[in-house]
Amino acid sequence: MSYPYQITSLEAYREAWQRSIEDPAGFWSSVAEHFTWRRRWERVLTWNFTEPKVQWFTGAQLNITDNCLDRHLEAAGDQPAIVWEPNDPQEHHRVLTYRQLHFKVCQFAHVLHNNGVRKGDRVCIYMGMIPELAIAVLACARVGAIHSVIFGGFSAQSISDRLQDAQAAFVVTCDGAFRGAKDIPLKSVIDDALVTCPFVKRVIVFTRTRTPVSMIKGRDVWWEDEVHHVETAGNPPFPAVEMEAEDPLFILYTSGSTGKPKGVVHSHAGYMVYTNYTFVNVFQYRPGEVHFCTADIGWITGHSYIVYGPLGAGGTSLMFEGIPTWPDAGRFWDIVDKHRVNILYTAPTAIRSLMSYGLGYLEGKCLDTLRVIGTVGEPINEEAWHWYDAHIGKGKCPIVDTWWQTETGGVMISNIAGVTPAKPSYATLPMPGVEPLLVDDAGREVEGNGVSGNLCIRSPWPSIIRTTYGDHERCRTNYFSTYPDLYFTGDGALRDENGFYRITGRVDDVLNVSGHRIGTAEVENAINMHAGVVESAVVGFSHDIKGQGIYAYVIMGEMHSDPALTRRDISLTVSRIIGPIAKPDRIQFVSGLPKTRSGKIMRRILRKIAEGETEQLGDTTTLLDPGVVHEIAQGRLGQ
């Protein structure tokens, strides 16, 4: 057994789960014993879901980077911590051992400190998938600053909104980022964002693409120059700043059912323990193995299972800069072959996309090193599951279908590789510490098996969301008030005859497009920014590759003579306001929207029409103008 808290049999799982529910404090303190603490906790858990207030390991002092870096130096200093595969396969890959990563994180912690970053300050990181992104994240944690990573696909407007919400005075970015055949000018996007953020004092820019950038005197500095100053000073060590267990570690913005993204806050101790615990258990990680999580560090999956989980466990994390389909659709398989990957963790949308390119791209690629394969981010359909099993896992690798959320910090419901049973399209059983339950719309618990309902969690696990940054009430109303004394996930689920959970998708106005969460209200707000738009309504529809696509019904004030041009303009507006990930797949122009007499849009009807159901639309008599439904159904856009 590699880790003392690694579960290696079904009985041990059942026992651990039972114990974790009966005695959470005892259970989690026995896990936490195996970490490095500057001072031990006085109390394991204090909580109520009414405020909500959740505190784990109160009284403890620590720094997550002591656990992710320093403690591995003696025994595993020369082990690879990060293996980085560049966008362009012709470019050399990089390997950073624990010693090298520790060195670079200390260096950059000095850079942050020299530039005025102190404990509690918010630092926004907007970079491509290069090792320096992980270095910046860890350096923030080391100085006690709160990082907020923004995915490279978000627009200047989205960045500005997030910077203002977090009041982040520091930004770390790159000149640009490579993604497939594209070169994204990150610094220039930051410049646009900062027009509305005069409180930003410092922008540190790493050179990646050599795209020309403008540097503002007094505000912008080069990463390389700043590191050079530290070298000139003799590279002094940078002991990690001592943090309280509940000090915030990071803010990560995610979409909800309102128009404004929420800053989900996670704290040091609980997040550290839970990401590590789930990493070594779900994937059954063995020291020395290469773990390849294909997510971007801009999302929670990258935070937890590229950076903190694997490094906390002294593992080797493979980071990939590019995209699965460039230079061709065999890129993942080339990487698995080249770096002898043991664990591959990706999203169903990537699997479906690669499936559509056919098996030719697998030819000649050795996938024999794979031991465990996993999915995350959205429900996986059975066809994709079987393809993944047969062609990637070759029928011998357990597939872990991991359900969790930005707010949960780590995996909540998943089979444990090779230890607990898998079932196609089911996330199956809860992790120790997690007690799921289903409730009906009235909040009554739905008991027994073979039932479905809204998925809730009864009590806190160590990496539960602590607050939404700057607005605790929002955290309460979003997650803890729909059903009193329960955490509500926003997902629907069913529980089969064996007690296995299958997540059926969001039950709120949040879409899951290619595994990315996008609020319909956010997209509507963006569409409405277009000068010609009077009103819009956005719903999801089933999409073969993306899981869900974005379908927009739009009322124009004055219609341009060329609808195709107007559609393009609207898409461009959405791209500008949110980012390309939120561009509608279909835009249908309508003269009105189905509304109730009180003015509420009947999305149920719009969803049905978007799915192609134009006849059985249910009761429309309560609508203000039932005639509009017929018109919309007639004008439905096909493929």
What residues line the site for ligand PRX (CB under 6 A)?
254, 300-301, 376-379, 401-406, 427, 489-491, 503, 505-506, 512, 517
Shortest Å, Cβ 449 to ligand PRX: 19
Q: Which lies closer to ligand PRX via its Cβ, residue 307 or residue 533?
A: 307
Distance CA 442, CA 448 (A): 17
> 632 CB contacts (<8 Å, ≥6 apart)?
553, 588, 590, 594, 606, 609
> 127 CB contacts (<8 Å, ≥6 apart)?
133, 136, 152, 172, 173, 174, 177, 186, 206
Shortest Å, Cβ 107 to ligand PRX: 31
Q: Which lies closer to ligand PRX via its Cβ, residue 314 or residue 490?
A: 490
Shortest Å, Cβ 113 to ligand PRX: 32
Distance CA 597, CA 511 (A): 26
Q: Which lies closer to ligand PRX via its Cβ, residue 404 or residue 483?
A: 404
Shortest Å, Cβ 402 to ligand PRX: 5
Q: With residue 472 as reference, give the H or E element that holds it.
A: helix 472-475
| Coil, strand or helix at 115 | coil
Q: Which lies closer to ligand PRX via its Cβ, residue 411 or residue 577?
A: 411
How far apart, in Å, are the Cα atoms of 146 and each of 64, 458, 465? 12, 29, 15
Q: Which lies closer to ligand PRX via its Cβ, residue 490 or residue 519?
A: 490
Q: Which lies closer to ligand PRX via its Cβ, residue 316 or residue 406?
A: 406
Instruction: Please state whether 224 falls in left (phi above 0), alpha (psi between -120 and 50) or beta.
Output: alpha
User: Is the distance from CB of 198 to CB of 190 less than 8 angstroms?
Assistant: no
Q: Which lies closer to ligand PRX via its Cβ, residue 403 or residue 461?
A: 403
Q: Give one DSSP letter per residue of 193-255, joined into a string.
A: HHTT-TT--EEEEE-SS-------TTTEEEHHHHHHHHHHTT----PPPPEETTSEEEEEEE-
Distance CA 308, CA 142 (A): 13
How far apart, in Å, are the Cα atoms of 186 and each of 178, 303, 319, 385? 10, 20, 19, 35
Shortest Å, Cβ 405 to ligand PRX: 4
Shortest Å, Cβ 278 to ligand PRX: 11
Q: Give the pairing of strands 399-402 and 372-376.
A: parallel
Tokens of 239: 């002991």
Q: Which lies closer to ligand PRX via its Cβ, residue 230 or residue 429?
A: 429
* Selection from 151, 186, 153, 146 nearest residue 170 by Cα: 146
Tokens of 313: 């466990």
Q: Give the pairing of strands 94-97 and 220-222.
A: unpaired
* Selection from 201, 170, 167, 207 nearest residue 187 by Cα: 207
| Coil, strand or helix at 462 | coil
Shortest Å, Cβ 468 to ligand PRX: 13
User: Is the distance from CB of 495 to CB of 524 less than 8 angstroms?
Assistant: no
* Selection from 208, 210, 171 nearest residue 192 by Cα: 171
Q: Which lies closer to ligand PRX via its Cβ, residue 315 or residue 377?
A: 377
Q: Which lies closer to ligand PRX via its Cβ, residue 128 or residue 490?
A: 490
| Coil, strand or helix at 557 | coil
| Coil, strand or helix at 536 | strand
Shortest Å, Cβ 414 to ligand PRX: 7
* Selection from 622, 601, 466, 460 nearest residue 538 by Cα: 601
Shortest Å, Cβ 492 to ligand PRX: 9
Shortest Å, Cβ 192 to ligand PRX: 25
Q: Which lies closer to ligand PRX via its Cβ, residue 238 or residue 253?
A: 253
Q: Which lies closer to ligand PRX via its Cβ, residue 109 or residue 413?
A: 413
Residue nearest to ligand PRX (CB): 406
Shortest Å, Cβ 425 to ligand PRX: 8
Q: Which lies closer to ligand PRX via its Cβ, residue 76 or residue 578?
A: 578
Neighbours of 297 (CB within 10 A): 24
Q: Which lies closer to ligand PRX via its Cβ, residue 27 or residue 488?
A: 488
Shortest Å, Cβ 547 to ligand PRX: 9
Shortest Å, Cβ 293 to ligand PRX: 11
> Count of H helices and E strands in the chain?
20, 30
Shortest Å, Cβ 453 to ligand PRX: 15
Q: With residue 564 as reference, give the H or E element that holds it.
A: helix 563-577
